[in-house]
Each structure stands twice: as C-alpha cells, then as structure tokens.
Amino acid sequence: MHIGDWNETPSLLFSTELPTDGTVTVHALQAPGQGGWLAGASGDSEANLDSGPVQENVMPGIQPPPEGDLIPEPVPGCQVTPKYYTWFQETLGHTTAAGLMAFTGSGKATARHLPDQQGRKRFDGFEHAASTSVQDISHELLGTTYAGTDHVFRLNGPRVEAFSGVDASLFGSLTEGRVEEYRAVVHTTRHTRPLLAWDEKWGGPVSVHADGSVLAIRLLPGQGRARR
C-alpha cells in the first residue's frame, strides 16, 4: 500500500507473504518520504464525508518515476496518488461508518455508506427496528442509551445475551448520513471513552469503545448462581 507519489510515504511499508505451505512472512521497509497528509496543493482537505460514497476504479500498481523518456512498468501493490486523496478520505470515512452500522445490525444504514464494489447490495434491504421510529432494540447502559441488536447463545452451557450497538445520538447521525457531525462529536468526547465497567441494571459487563460503540453481555434471567 503506497499513499502519495513515489517514495513519499513517511512511515514503514509492510508486505505480507501468505504461502500455501510454510510460515507467514512480514517484510518491513522504512520509507523516508515527507508526505502523509491527504491534502491538496493548498494544504487543505477537500473531502466531504456527508456526500454519498463514490465508486472509483483505480488501477492496481505502484508507478515508479520516469527514467528519461522511459516510463517503467508499475510494481505490484496499490497506490493512492494525490488525484485520489479526496476520494480516499471519503471512502475511509464511509467505510468506518458502515462498519459501525453493521455492528448495530442496521442493513440500510450500512448500505448507504458503501458503493456497489464494497457490497452495498449485500446490506440493502435488510433492516431492524432500531433504525426506525420504534427503537425497540435499545438499552440504557452506564447511563447512556444505545441502539443496536442482540444475540442469544450458549457459553459452556448457560444461555447468554450479547448486545452490540452505538450511542443512540451517534446512531441517528450515521443513519442520516451526517458523518462529519459524528466524527466531530466522537473527537470532542474522546476523553470520556473507552470505558469498561459492570452495569448493575443491565446485569453484566459493558465495554464502550472510543468510536461510540458498545458491547454488553449478561446471563439470561432465570439461571441460578450455581450455574454461573
């Protein structure tokens, strides 16, 4: 993965070999470039994360600079050139939003942040009540309301409920496509997260991440302490 012009990536470059037999090999190469900020010539970003996702067909390959009149063949890899900086920033923002919405179980909210090449059709059409006005898949955890989805499974015998979701106010921003607003709020409140605590009302541990997502787990009611 190479971001910027040739030799302008200002960090380590990693390459991983996944052989069919033998061990996994990771190569690390120091890149002394001075780039790194995904900004235009003026130094400012033109990305608008509230705009819809854009599908680009970027050809694979990292292009070495010309050698006189000769243009070398691209080397294997993926290169994000300055031409695609804005698109790349917006894609990263939308992909993050889509991941959070998938974590809540909201198919339509996930699909709105993905182009077809990232599987939009896989999520479009499926929905749950938490993204409508009903909001019946939500819980108040550690004093904050979260919208999401829950699953029941067995853990070494006892039946366990797991709830995954996102802060309800942030959930509303992302379902309506206000990614810029979501990022601003998360950045402002980053000092209050992450958080890991036991919620007596919920009846189990609750883990809140810096991005506003939550994972909570508890034994289903009716199971005695002996089984616990």
* C-alpha torsion 136→142→144→149, nearest 10: -30
What is the structure's pLDDT at 10? 65
pLDDT reported for residue 134: 31
pLDDT given for residue 45 in this prediction: 67
Q: What is the predicted pLDDT for the residue at 44? A: 63
Closest to 170 in 3D by CA, of 141, 129, 211, 113:
211
- For residue 80, the model assigns a pLDDT of 87
d(CA 21, CA 32) in angstroms, rounded, equals 34
| Residue 192 burial (C-beta neighbours within 10 Å; 0-12, 13-18, 19+) | exposed
pTM metric for this prediction: 0.74
The CA-to-CA distance between both ends of the chain, in Å, stands at 48
Q: Let me know: does 159 contact 184? Beta carbons within 8 Å.
A: no
Residue 40's contacts (CB-CB under 8 Å, 6 or more residues apart) are: 46, 82, 85, 86
Helix (H) or strand (E) holding 90: helix 85-104
Q: What is the largest CA-CA distance in the chain?
A: 79
pLDDT, residue 95, reads 92
Q: How far apart are CA 96 and CA 188, in angstroms?
A: 18
Q: What string of pLDDT tens digits covers the 228 residues of the chain? A: 788 888 777 666 677 888 888 888 888 777 677 666 666 656 666 788 898 888 888 888 988 989 888 999 998 888 888 888 889 889 999 999 999 998 888 888 888 888 877 777 776 655 544 444 333 478 999 999 999 988 888 888 889 999 999 999 999 999 999 999 999 999 999 888 888 999 999 999 999 999 999 999 999 877 765 444
Cis peptide upstream of residue 194 (ω within 30 degrees of 0):
yes
How many alpha carbons lie under 13 Å from residue 37 in its C-beta half-sphere?
Answer: 8
